[in-house]
Structure 1
Amino acid sequence: MSNPKAMNLRFPDPAQRAAIEAAAKQEGVSLQEYILSAAYARATAVEERFLDAFGESMSRSSDAFAEAAGTVDPGAQQRTADLEARRSLEQQERGHAA
């Protein structure tokens, strides 16, 4: 198994590289490890924000559907009237077909 190659870290701004190196040294880790940890932390934060927003959206949708269900669901009398109307239409169609 070959040894992993070091990351090629190029910084167009020498001051930026120096600041990151100083932060890595303060944390007691290599420059590569510091950058990878920072990238992982940022990706994790983005994921957490997405999941939080998704959870809030699901909650709002659930609440909206729950409210709408009460207004959409017909009562027993309405369902009976709908069934009778359907049967009446079906009988009329059968009469016209004959």
Structure 2
Amino acid sequence: MSHPKAMNLRFPDPAQRAAIEAAARQEGVSLQEYILSAAYARATAVEERFLDAFRASMARSGDAFAEEAGTADPAAEQRSAEQQARRDLEEQQERGHAA
């Protein structure tokens, strides 16, 4: 059975390593935990930016289709049902991110 290896933390700049070690000590965590936490925070921030841009894109697309809806003119009930379904989906997605 293989044993997990510790992270190999090499810093070409000793000042950079000292600054990160000081920040980890201030947070009261190990250097590895500090670096992993920072990497996770950055990844989730990137994911959130992507999702925000995706939602904005979906809204623009929805608006464009809504403008063109007049040509097909679906029944008012159908439009209302579609809008409600869209709101429900958006609420589900927001609740998923809150968890």
> What TM-score, normalized by structure 1, do the two folds share?
0.70
CA distance in 2, matches of 1:19, 1:27: 12
Structure 2 residue identity aligned to 1:52: D
Structure 2 residue identity aligned to 1:34: Y
Structure 2 residue identity aligned to 1:44: T
Map 1:1-98 onto structure 2 (within 5 A): 2-70=2-70, 72-73=71-72
Structure 2 residue identity aligned to 1:37: S
Larger Rg: 1
After TM superposition, where is structure 1 displaced by more than 3 Å over at least 4 residues in a row?
none
CA distance in 2, matches of 1:73, 1:4: 61
Asked which structure has the greater RCO (Cα within 8 Å, sep 6+), the reply is 2
Deviation of the 1:5 alpha carbon: 1.4
> What TM-score, normalized by structure 2, do the two folds share?
0.69
Aligned residues: 73
Instruction: Give deviations 1:63-94, integer Å, cap 9, x for gaps.
Output: 10010121x327xxxxxxxxxxxxxxxxxxxx
* CA-atom RMSD in angstroms: 1.3
CA distance in 1, matches of 2:69, 2:50: 28
CA distance in 2, matches of 1:60, 1:14: 48
Identity of aligned residues (%): 86
Deviation of the 1:57 alpha carbon: 0.5
Residue 10 of structure 2 aligns to a residue whose secondary structure is coil
Residue 15 of structure 2 aligns to a residue whose secondary structure is helix
Listed as ranges, the gaps of 5+ residues in structure 2 are: 74-99
